[in-house]
Amino acid sequence: MIMASAEEMQMQLGYELAVYREQVAMIKRETERVSLTTIDLANALRTVENLSAESALIPIGGGAMVRGTIAQTRILIPIGAEYMLEMEKGDAENELRRRIEATKKAVEKLNEEFNRIASKLREIAGQIQQMQTQTQLSDKVEGNIREDYI
């Protein structure tokens, strides 16, 4: 079995470090996206909970609103692929609560993965630092030997 040189090992560890850093960046972006989804769902839930057959501001796009009266409190909930499902108010509240819990669990899993990768990053950075220190010591010893014997 041929042992890899210190330089090859440093290059390998450097590559692993770069991969883990990219994974950390991706997890951060995904965590932010899921957290924003959680906030959006919580706002929707609050709106549905306070919904009644009274006057309301209804968004019509572009930040514009129109004041209207709500004649029906059935809620359209997106279910994927641009399809909507019409639900009674209570069912919609339960569905939104379920989705909020799912996004919170997703954030927890992302945080666990982030911590696992951050631990690997620290480990690899320590290995690289140790290898660099050993290389510097070896170079210094070699330099001292040359001075003494050459």
What is the tally of structural domains in the chain?
1
Q: Within a domain: residue 74? A: yes
Q: Within a domain: residue 132? A: no
Q: What are phi and psi of 6, to 5 degrees?
A: -60, -40
Assign residue 74 the CATH number of its domain: 1.10.287.370
Q: Within a domain: residue 97? A: yes
Q: Within a domain: residue 92? A: yes
Domain limits for position 41: 29-117
The answer to whether the CB of 68 falls within 8 A of the CB of 58 is yes
Q: Is 65 helix (H, G, I), strand (E, B) or coil?
A: strand
pTM for this one? 0.68
Q: What is the pLDDT of residues 46-102, one digit of tens each?
A: 988 887 777 788 888 888 999 888 877 788 998 889 899 999 989 999 999 999 999
Cα distance between residue 67 and residue 63, in whole Å: 13
Q: Within a domain: residue 109? A: yes
